[in-house]
Amino acid sequence: MSVISLRLKDRELKRLAELSKLTQKDKSMVARELMEYGWEFMMIRTYKEGKLSLSTLASRLDMSVSETIDLLSEFNIQSPIEYADYLKGFEGFK
């Protein structure tokens, strides 16, 4: 694991400490989780803007397409796959 040093504003440090206390995790762990959530958020937003395909989004999130569709549904983002297409893909697995 690499080490990075960065400057944070007082407000950011306060939020990090608050989350650390709330989740009972150390600040480093909370910061890493926030980075991951931020990455997911930015990739999902880019997908929603039509700048990423579903497969590219899945790849960037290190998920399968199915897992990515489930994640998108958690955020109420419609899947571009029609139900008929889903069934055709499912038939391919048989």
H helix intervals, 1-94: 10-23, 27-48, 54-60, 65-74, 83-93
Give the predicted TM-score (pTM) of the model. 0.74
* Residue 76: both structure tokens together: 């109420």
Selection from 92, 86, 88, 87 nearest residue 54 by Cα: 86
Q: Where do the domains of the chain lie?
A: 10-93
Letter for the amino acid at 58? A
Residue ranges in the chain modelled with pLDDT below 70: 79-83, 85-86, 89-90, 92-94
**Model pLDDT, residue 49:** 86
- The phi-psi region of residue 62 (left if phi > 0; otherwise alpha if psi is between -120 and 50; otherwise beta) is left
Calculate the alpha carbon distances from 45 to 38, 52, 75, 93 in Å.
10, 9, 11, 31
